[in-house]
Amino acid sequence: MAKQFSKSEWKEIWTELEKDPGKYGFPERVYGSVVTGSFNIRKLGSSRKRNAETWDFLAHVCKHFDLIAVQEVMDDLSGLNLLMEKIGPEFGLIVSDKTGSFPGDKGLGERLAFIFRWSVLKRGEVVSDITYDRSKVSEILFENLDAFTKAKDDYVKSMKKFETGKRKTKPKLKMPMFLSFIRQPFCVSFKIVGHPDTQPYRFMAVNAHLIFGTPDERRKEFEALMEWINSRVKQVEKTYYPNFMLMGDLNLKYDDPEADFKEIEDYLKSFDNEAGEQVHVNFPFLDIHPGQPKQFTSNVKQTQRYDQIGLFFREAGLPTHLDNEKMGDSEKGPDFGVFNFTELFCQALKGKSYASLSKEEQDDFIAHYEHKVSDHMPLWLRLPLPESKIPSSDF
């Protein structure tokens, strides 16, 4: 059974957090701003799988967001429902059906959810999965038929070796090209409401939990999602809302941090260059926050940048990549950060920094919360409330 913090340990954690929430990147609510974010809450399923103190902590975190995308919601919604009860009626919930496994088949499927504050966000009519339709899949298959045939032949040969005992592990069919997402990203339309008579931010929020597979599989699925969003936002006259906000666990992996991160950074920033002046693309977490020595990490081991928030937008008011150098200059935003509860827990319970622990000590410490709190930490992006006035012709 996975470890959990005791009541006395949670008391020490609360005491430490209350001293200085900003020290750990906790997203305090500030009048005149809206806080959006993403949080992969590991296997958020049965309400009985976490103790009451853990649920209270998760609810406290979520209540400090105006919109938060949650990944790894299980088919059992009792835990999510309990979380919503603790958060309170001022919040709304919209959640997808299970994706990632066919009904009745073995496999860990999951749901994707958005929790949002009614007083700040209004939900639009459009709610949808993001998919590649049959015509697009057929086109990919026919254009790459030789590659798929080779992949099948290699798989059959490996299976024969497995069945005859010449291979110890059962092989996996490696897809040579992207065909479909392992879990369909979830897309919901929202408006961020500002002060009276101001034009709201209108955007499609995309909640994604991409594949955790080989580096090649990760890259293919990640690029497919980027291409889909970028292509859609260019269709300004056809899209429901003209802006997109991607929030999720993209499973970006950096085995060689220097080389891998630079490659992904160049790839994402290329969208901003090719989109022209009409469309801006900004992934703030690719840059170093002005108040930090290096890029934020999002896993509790503080080694990876799996999670990201990305903006694809046309309308004025949202931060471009040029604004990232000034993040945090204003209390109302724009600003971004990570709630580093690994550091919080370590300071509260051990009286020292997580970085000062040995590798063995770090692994033992993380085991107390990576399953019951999460193995990911929440990301947040603060935006100033809309200030542009609604044109008189719109009244």
In the chain, where are the structural domains located? 7-130+184-389, 133-177
Average pLDDT, the chain: 91
Chain segment 347-380, per-residue pLDDT in tens:
999 999 999 999 999 999 999 999 999 999 999 9
Question: Among 29-43, 243-257, 355-369, which is the least confidently predicted range?
Answer: 243-257
- Give the pLDDT score at 262: 75
What's the CATH code, domain 7-130+184-389?
3.60.10.10
pLDDT at 116 > cutoff 50: yes
Over residues 332-356, mean pLDDT: 97
Residues facing residue 243 across a β-bridge: 203
Q: Is the overall model pTM greater than 0.85, yes or no?
A: yes
Per-residue pLDDT at 335: 97
**41 confidence band (pLDDT: 50, 70, 90):** very high
- The lowest-confidence range among 51-65, 106-120, 154-168, 314-328 is 314-328
CB 341 within 8 A of CB 10: no
Name the band, by pLDDT with cuts 50, 70 and 90, for residue 284.
very high
Tell me: pLDDT of 74 over 90. yes
Counting residues of the chain whose pLDDT is more than 90, the rounded percentage is 73
The beta-carbon contacts of 97-103 under 8 Å, at least 24 apart in sequence, are 99/129, 99/183, 99/184, 99/186, 100/182, 100/183
Confidence of residue 108 (pLDDT cuts 50, 70, 90): confident
Contact between residue 85 and residue 117 where contact means Cβ atoms under 8 Å apart: no
Residue 101 φ then ψ, to 5° = -155, 140
